[in-house]
Amino acid sequence: MLENKNIVITGSNRGIGYAVLKACAENGANVFACMRNKSDEMERKLHNISEEYEVNIYPVYFDLCDEQMIKDGVSEILKYKIPISGIVNNAGIAGAKSLFLMTTMEDIRSTFDVNFFGHVLLTQRLLKNMIRNKCGSIVNISSAAAIDGDPAQFGYITSKAAMIGAVKKWANELGSYGIRANAVAPGVTNTDMVSEMREELLADTVGNTAMHRIGQPDEIAKTVVYLLSDYSSYMTGQTVRVDGGLHP
């Protein structure tokens, strides 16, 4: 589905990002695996995936809280002088789990830096490449919680809601260049973030899904691959819930 495409993915080292990386490679894409920290174990994993699927995987390291590091990371990507086919803005943090009145502005800003502003800058810096080639697909990883307005985690929910607003704007502004923008809104998914949920809250959430289970990262990744592929060529400005039939 993605043969010969070149995809940039943030948060590639774990959870949904790692699942998306593997799914993109399996479907023939070359991947710029963007991560904050370098590790020998992850480098070995990337090498093995590259060998298994006969694709190129380029590790790129930067912190989404640091504008200069993002700019340097994009410069490293663009040095390869190849067309960027897709961007998956995935990396995210949960931030404070307190209610709005108990959440500090410092925490809200730090959560937005990672979940929203860093990705906005990354996308902006990569867009000239995509516009020049008059094609591409941007996929923002949002959250079903951002749509439903779950209690607590104000910074997380509002930053993920901003990711939905961004794709609507990008879709309208970039459509004439052949660039599409969509969001995926996962429900409760088996990642490190979910492992931090209180047991009673997790059980209650699972009980409110039609499928009565949490999702797996590879299930989210399949939808992302579809949105990156030409199979979704007339789809833009949309938010796709992948939540097991969650009813708040």
Residues taking part in catalysis: 156
Amino acid at 60: V
Distance CA 123, CA 204 (A): 36
Distance CA 103, CA 243 (A): 27
Q: How crowded is the C-beta side of 75, counted as CA atoms within 13 Å?
A: 6
Q: Are 64 and 12 in contact (CB under 8 A)?
A: no
Q: Are 33 and 14 in contact (CB under 8 A)?
A: no
Distance CA 155, CA 157 (A): 6
| 107: number of Cβ within 10 Å | 17
Q: Are 217 and 191 in contact (CB under 8 A)?
A: yes
Distance CA 93, CA 57 (A): 24
